[in-house]
């Protein structure tokens, strides 16, 4: 992977989020349920500091449900509440508001005891890497209330808040963060799940990576989908075997790797191998 984000972009995004956090009670950190660590910003803990947070495992409809449960336990062990959701059809979304209230209860109780504020909605900010579903979830949570509730003075400019529940408001512009690219496997996972534009990566490299992972965790699905009679140990011969089964041959009798990669990637995107997760807790940690 050769994708690099300019450090200047990262610094700007970071500054913007830090500024927004001043107005926020709770952060909804959106990650891809299929790759919850690779789709996280590595500096997020530092940026959010002590801010209450809920990790939303989005696109859970595409992920392996068993693995998603493992992730929920993983975050829970770290003391971070998480929810598996599908922003597209709204599954799991209803649980967000009550959980957000739980997290800010202490702060609100204190404010009330001091008589500081009138009762107000909990204010939340969605943050996440590009393409993780930030706009989709904002639209889904806002429902027919997508019309902004009005201006309230922000720190540097007026901010728009969107009504996203009875007593929940979302800042209208989500915080965009970048994933970490130094670790090659992170770029590959982002490519497999569609977080990176297809023109930006080498299909064959990405699919080879995916096949290696699938062989380890979903071998029977590979066998079934591609009618494999044998499963070579290494991923390249396995990849070639799939190409042969799919008739991706070049005139010289060699397997057309690019064509094979395109077919496999299309299959993965179309869920022809079922719901897949590309990361399991403790396989690696972002440092």
Among candidates 253, 251, 255, 252, which has minimal Cα distance to 208? 255
Chain-centre distance of CA 124, in angstroms? 18
Residue 123 is given by DSSP the state E
* Least Å from the CB of residue 29 to ligand GTP: 12
Query: Looking at beta carbons only, is 95 or 259 nearer to ligand GTP?
Result: 95
Least distance (Å) between residue 239 CB and ligand GTP: 26
User: What three-state secondary structure class fits 180?
Assistant: coil
Q: What's the min distance (Å) between Cβ of 114 and ligand GTP? A: 37
Closest CB to ligand GTP among 10 and 228? 10
| Cα–Cα dist 47/51, whole Å | 9
CA 77 to chain centre: 19
Q: Which CB sits closer to ligand GTP, 86 or 204?
A: 86
| Closest CB to ligand GTP among residues 29, 241 | 29
Closest residue to ligand GTP: CB criterion: 133
User: What's the min distance (Å) between Cβ of 137 and ligand GTP?
Assistant: 7
Cβ proximity to ligand GTP: between 146 and 249 the closer is 146
Please state the three-class secondary structure of 4-48 as a single string: CCCHHHHHHHHHHHHHHHCCCCEEEEEEECCCCCCCCCCCHHHHH
* Nearer of residues 56 and 248 to ligand GTP, judged by Cβ: 56
Q: How far is the CB of 59 from ligand GTP (least distance, A)?
A: 4
Please give the residue ranges that form the binding site for ligand GTP (CB under 6 A). Answer: 58-59, 61-62, 86-88, 128, 130-136, 176
Least distance CB 91 / ligand GTP (angstroms)? 8
Q: What is the C-alpha to C-alpha distance for residues 269 and 265, in angstroms, rounded to an integer?
A: 6
One-letter-per-residue 3-state SS of 56-108 = EEECCCCCCHHHHHHHHHHHHHCCCCEEECECCCCECHHHHHHHHHHHHHHHH
How many whole angstroms separate alpha carbon 258 and alpha carbon 269?
A: 16
Task: Provide the minimum distance between the beta carbon of 234 and ligand GTP in the complex, in angstroms, as a whole number.
Answer: 32
User: 58 or 204: whose CB is closer to ligand GTP?
Assistant: 58
C-alpha 64/C-alpha 119 separation (Å) is 41
- Residue 141 beta carbon to ligand GTP: minimum distance, rounded to whole angstroms: 12
Rounded to whole angstroms, the Cα distance separating 253 from 244 reads 10
Q: Which is nearer to ligand GTP, 59 or 189 (CB)?
A: 59
Q: Return the closest-CA partner of residue 267 out of 283, 243, 249.
A: 243
Contact present, 207 and 264 (Cβ < 8 Å): yes
């Amino acid at each position: 992977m050769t994708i690099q984000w300019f450090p200047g972009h990262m610094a700007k995004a970071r500054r913007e989020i830090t500024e927004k956090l001043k107005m926020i009670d709770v952060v909804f950190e959106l990650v891809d349920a299929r790759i919850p660590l690779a789709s996280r910003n590595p500096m997020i803990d530092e940026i959010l500091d002590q801010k209450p947070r809920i990790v939303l495992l989005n696109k859970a409809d595409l992920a392996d449900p068993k693995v998603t449960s493992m992730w929920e336990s993983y975050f829970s062990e770290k003391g971070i509440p998480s929810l598996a959701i599908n922003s597209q059809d709204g599954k799991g979304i209803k649980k967000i508001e009550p959980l957000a209230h739980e997290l800010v209860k202490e702060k609100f109780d204190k404010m009330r005891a001091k008589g500081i504020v009138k009762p107000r909605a909990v204010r939340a900010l969605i943050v996440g890497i590009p393409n993780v579903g930030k706009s989709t979830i904002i639209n889904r949570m806002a429902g027919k209330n997508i019309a902004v509730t009005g201006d309230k003075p922000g720190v540097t400019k007026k901010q728009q808040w969107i009504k996203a529940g009875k007593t929940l408001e979302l800042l209208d512009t989500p915080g965009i963060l970048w994933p970490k690219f130094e670790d090659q496997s992170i770029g590959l996972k982002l490519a497999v799940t569609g977080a990176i534009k297809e023109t930006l990566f080498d299909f064959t490299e990405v699919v080879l990576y995916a096949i290696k992972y699938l062989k380890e965790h979903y071998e029977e699905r590979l066998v079934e989908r591609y009618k494999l009679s044998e499963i070579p140990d290494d991923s390249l011969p396995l990849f070639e075997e799939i190409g042969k089964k799919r008739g991706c041959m070049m005139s010289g009798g060699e397997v057309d790797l690019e064509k094979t990669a395109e077919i496999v990637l299309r299959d993965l995107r179309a869920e022809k191998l079922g719901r897949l997760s590309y990361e399991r807790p403790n396989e690696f940690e972002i440092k």
